[in-house]
Amino acid sequence: MPKTRIKNRVVLITGGMGGLGETISTKMADEGYKVAVTYSPGNTKHNEWLADMKANGYTMLAVPCDVADIASCQAAVASVAAQLGAVDVLVNNAGITRDMTFKKMDKVNWDAVMRTNLDSLFNMTKQVADGMVDRGWGRIINVSSVNGSKGAFGQTNYSAAKAGVHGFSKALALEVAKKGVTVNTISPGYIGTKMVTAIPEDILNTKILPQIPVGRLGKPEEVAGLIIYLASEEAAFLTGANIAINGGQHMQ
């Protein structure tokens, strides 16, 4: 797609400051998108992050947003629209883990994961979907996880929420398909973010990498590349899909 057309498009990435989200943000900026990211209201380092981005040639908009709170999401999207324009591409990337066996899990940790990882899809998408439909073009890309497809020990809350992500995507995709709006899920496996690479090397080598047929961690740039494709004109016939990007760890 010509860069001049991309430059008129606004992408909003939740959780866009850390790990995978940061790579998605910079790669989409490289493609010519006007990039907005959300950060947790309690994060006091957003100005430092923006300064680092600017030093590397990236000018981005950062807005505070508690994705578990619909009023906060409404305010965040309104701020983006006022400063950059209507959101054309929404990447629902924000997520948390609160891992423990079901026997030990309490309602607080169940609710925290469900609100941030699943309720957030409703809270954010509700703010942009009607506008996309009215304009006849939009892309909603929801980040799930390999563990939403295959399950994971100690992650009943996380796996349930991430499985729900794709159910949401499929149902909404049906409703907006004829309006030029696509809704898709991606399900990454183990990606070489700071969080994953901080895992002790012996655990990586003996427990994690043997599960991955390609024999390595995924690269954040590979996930960002998939998202860039899903946001493109060429992906207009692809909707309601769950694309596994996990090195063959779990094949669908």
CATH code at position 205 = 3.40.50.720
Query: Which of 5-19, 27-41, 171-185 bottoms out in mean pLDDT, i.e. has the lowest?
Result: 5-19
**Which range marks the domain in which residue 162 is found?**
3-245
Give tens-digit pLDDT for 147-176. Answer: 999 999 999 999 999 999 999 999 999 999
pTM: 0.94
Does residue 194 sit within a domain?
yes
Confidence band (pLDDT; 50, 70, 90) for 2? Answer: very low
For residue 139, tell me if it sits in a domain: yes
14 within domain boundaries: yes
**Among 51, 13, 50, which residue's Cα sits nearest to residue 31?**
13
Q: Residue 239 domain-assigned?
A: yes
* 251: in domain: no
Q: Per residue in 169-199, pLDDT tens?
A: 999 999 999 999 999 999 999 999 887 887 8
Pair 209, 215: CB distance under 8 Å:
yes
Q: Is residue 219 part of a domain?
A: yes
In a domain, 250, yes or no: no
Long-range contacts of 236-240 (CB under 8 A, 24+ apart): 236/180, 236/182, 238/182, 238/184, 239/173, 239/177, 239/182, 239/183, 239/184, 240/169, 240/170, 240/173, 240/174, 240/177, 240/183, 240/184
Question: Rounded mean pLDDT of the chain?
Answer: 94
* Domains held by the chain: number: 1
Give the model's pLDDT for residue 1. Answer: 41
DSSP 8-state symbol, 205:
I
Tell me the mean pLDDT in the region 228-235.
Answer: 98
Active site amino acids = 158
- Please report whether residue 252 resides in a domain: no
